[in-house]
Amino acid sequence: MGAIEHDNEAYSKAFTYFVVAFEIIIIILYCIGTEYTTYEQELSASAVVSASYAKFQDVHVMIFVGFGFLMTFLKKYGFSAIGYNFVLSTFVIQLAILTNGFWEQLFQLINDDLDFHKIAIDVTVLIRADFAAGAVMITYGALLGKTSLLELFIIATVEMVFFGLNEQLVATELMVGDMGGSLIVHTFGAYFGLACSYIITPKDMFGEDDEGSVYTSDLFSMVGTVFLWMFWPSFNGALASGYQQHRVVVNTTLSLTASCIATFVASINLRPSKKFAMVDVQNATLAGGVAMGTCSNLGIGPGFAILIGGVAGLVSVFGYTIVTPWLLSKKILHDTCGVHNLHGMPGLLGGIFGAIATACGAFGQAGESNGSIFGAMDASSKNRSSGEQALYQFLGTIITLAVSIITGLLCGALIKALRGATGHGLSNHFHDGDHWDGAFSTLEDNSEVQELKLTVGNQEKVVPVKVVAGPVEAMTDAQWAGSTAVETVRGHSKATVSPMTGSGVNNSGYSNHSEFSDKDLP
């Protein structure tokens, strides 16, 4: 359990003040600084929507359904996992349109002496905002169960500032190709979140009882995995067109099939039990989509696409079975979802594979100019050779890693300072109990026999009750007949128990997770 007390009334006020102030500022900025993209002909607008809207919706499904359900694996954090994913993504979409637009125009001002102007919003801008939300969801994966929603809003605000900066440095200044976001989205989001987690995660939180899954929560998480796996080609190719989009779909699909197969092979061999592990299947099967991002639009060949996916799957499972347990055992770094294994290392692999493919000249098909794939290789631009472009691809990988880690550490320091200044934070980590009605009880599980005050009729007695994970166990009529209320004498949450005449307990306060055994009652 965390050492910081949680005050719901104070938190609700702070949350409301922050969000209302944010929305007022957003409305003002959108009114004065944005507009619809204008088209000379109505058919042009229809063509853009027809070409992009389906891919936009695919990416939307990945962000709101895929990432949301993927993070429901924690047995007592399902409300927060999917609920916070929902509202935080909408928050980021509003913010990213502004921050992305600001940095884009600032670099245009510096490089081309163009003036600031209103941000024109179309479907492509919305797709880029979804990509930004994806980066924040990856960051959220590293921090899952350890931060409040208000803290996540603050983290997302800071992250979007530097996300937009890094995107312009890498994509505009260095002119690095990163079609599917291996670097700009996955690597940045992962290492920003890991650096933030390094600062704000107390060492005594490593290995808490609530940080685990049960059969049902793992099944819900697999729903997210399947959605992400199916729609990943759309994510990698949402901003591509023509020949390049064709290659993105083929390369990404083949890479995903390979990472899926490699995951099952690696899981059954690297796990001490020599059995498949659900955490590997939920995550490492997707690593092929991450690693394929940077070179997804290149003519690398179907065989190389399968190779990349297989390597990514193996590396990801290695991370879950070897790297993460070692980091936890040494109390070096806490990574709730294992984003280092799914997004971090595969994202870096994507950057490296992209540099190798570029150096080898694996570009497009005959008749397709290299400049249409890498703008810097066009004769009218930088006129780079394939070797020079490969060096810039590698440099973009290093810069993204550095910017994400440094800014993530700064953001973590900010959150830690705010916690110290206010004295508030989560009192129950990996647990919905602090902020959700109808969530699991916040009683300490499996720790000790706790004293509960049991009112039966006009008599009160102190009853030792052992609280463990699992369903409510049936009580005899004599034990529960006439019971009206149960509350802890240690100040934990209250529970109401209705009178009963048959087996089973109607216990709304404990939400069917506390088990009361006959032997624990006097």
460 DSSP assignment: E
Neighbours of 56 (CB within 10 A): 18
Within 10 angstroms of residue 49's Cβ, the number of other Cβ atoms is 13
Q: What confidence score (pLDDT) does residue 441 get? A: 53
Hey, what amino acid is at 105? Answer: Q
Helix, strand and coil content of the chain, in percent to the nearest 5, comes to: 65, 5, 30
371 HSE (CA, 13 A, CB side): 7
Residue 109 one-letter amino acid: L
Q: Which two tokens stand for residue 261?
A: 């197969």
The predicted structure's pLDDT at residue 472: 37
d(CA 378, CA 389): 11
Structure tokens at 101: 């637009």
Residue type present at position 166: N
- The span from the CA of 459 to the CA of 53, in Å, is 66
- Taking a C-beta distance cutoff of 8 angstroms, is the pair 323, 343 a contact? no
Q: How far apart are CA 430 and CA 72, in angstroms?
A: 11
pTM of the predicted protein model? 0.84
Query: If 0-12 CB within 10 Å is exposed, 13-18 middle and 19+ buried, where does residue 157 land?
Result: middle
Q: Hey, what's the torsion of the CAs at 109, 167, 156, 402, to 10 degrees?
A: -120
Residue 309 contacts residue 257 (beta carbons within 8 Å) = yes
Residue 307 to residue 248: CA distance in whole angstroms: 15
State how far Cα 289 lies from the chain centre: 15
* Rounded Cα gap, residues 58 and 47, in angstroms: 18
pLDDT tens-digit profile, the chain (522 residues): 344 445 788 889 999 999 999 999 999 999 999 999 988 777 788 888 888 999 999 999 999 999 999 999 999 999 999 999 999 999 999 999 999 999 999 999 998 888 899 999 999 999 999 999 999 999 999 999 999 999 999 999 999 999 999 999 999 999 999 999 999 999 999 999 999 999 999 888 787 778 889 999 999 999 999 999 999 999 999 999 889 999 999 999 999 999 999 999 999 999 999 999 999 999 999 999 999 999 999 999 999 999 999 999 999 999 999 999 999 999 999 999 999 999 999 999 999 999 999 999 888 776 788 888 999 999 888 999 999 999 999 999 999 999 999 999 999 999 999 998 887 667 778 988 888 887 765 444 444 445 555 555 566 666 555 444 333 333 333 343 333 333 333 333 334 333 333 333 333 333 333 333 333 333
pLDDT for res 452: 55
- Pairing between β-strand 119-121 and β-strand 34-36 as defined by DSSP bridges: parallel
Q: Is 272 helix (H, G, I), strand (E, B) or coil?
A: coil
Is the Cβ–Cβ distance between 234 and 470 less than 8 Å?
no
**Measured CA distances, 56 to 100, 235, 254, 378 (Å):** 17, 8, 22, 29
CA distances (Å), 40 to each of 37, 51, 384, in order? 10, 17, 35
Q: Which two tokens stand for residue 190?
A: 């992962």
- Candidates 328, 341, 432, 449; CA nearest to 75 is 432
Structural domains of the chain ordered from first start: 8-37+53-422 (1.10.3430.10), 441-520 (no CATH)
The C-alpha atoms of residue 140 and residue 136 are separated, in whole angstroms, by 6
CA distances to 175, 187, 298, 361, 369 from 356, in Å: 16, 18, 11, 9, 19
Q: State the Cα–Cα distance between residues 248 and 179, nearest whole angstrom.
A: 9
How many whole angstroms from its chain centre is CA 487? 36
pLDDT for the residue numbered 453: 56
